[in-house]
Amino acid sequence: MMLRTALILITLFTSYIAAEVKEISSMKEFRQVLTEKKPLCIMFYAPWCSACKSMKEPFNQAAQSLKKEVLFVNVDADNEKFKEIADTFGVEAIPTIIVKHVGVLNKNQLIGALKGCVEPIKENPKKEEKKSQAKKPAKKVVAPPKKTKAPPKKSAKKA
């Protein structure tokens, strides 16, 4: 009974998160989405693509986090009726995520938005951290020289 309740809760929670991502079902619907005033995040995917499947959860989580600010949509790039959309956005591989922003960004906003795209992705941050610490050479501890008193200066005798 408890397992059944847990499964129902997981299903409801997953459905709730997935509801934040709109699945495009027609060209008319896509054209309507393009008229929205807020930023648009489009994920082009194919149902058979394992990389697309692994992107689904982070994409859904981002949609959940930004649901008030950004509109998230999925487009099946493998579906012939959406070939025009994929061609318009220059999709050559899947998954492809495209962000359409309406309005002006300042330099810092643009750099911040793009920084995550160019930084290397860490598969397991804790594991990477341990590796980077292991590679660092041990620092040598050098004791400062001991201060010694200089011998007293001999006075020069006049001959």
40-86 pLDDT per residue, tens: 999 999 999 999 999 999 999 999 999 888 999 999 999 999 988 89
Give the pairing of strands 71-76 and 40-45.
Answer: parallel
- Does position 5 have pLDDT exceeding 70, yes or no? no
**79 domain residue, yes or no:** yes
State whether residue 43 is helix, strand or coil. Answer: strand
The pTM of the full predicted model, rounded to 2 decimals, is: 0.61
71 DSSP β-pair partners: 40
**152 domain residue, yes or no:** no
State whether residue 117 is helix, strand or coil. Answer: helix
Selection from 5-14, 43-52, 115-124 with the highest mean pLDDT: 43-52
Q: Which domain holds residue 16?
A: 2-121
138-156 pLDDT per residue, tens: 555 555 556 656 666 666 5
Q: Which of 62, 94, 63, 90 is nearest to 77 (CA)?
A: 94
Structural domain total, the chain? 1
CA 135 to chain centre: 26
Sheet containing 21-23, strands listed edge to edge, beginning at the edge strand earlier in sequence? 21-23, 71-76, 40-45, 96-100
What CATH number corresponds to the domain at position 102? 3.40.30.10
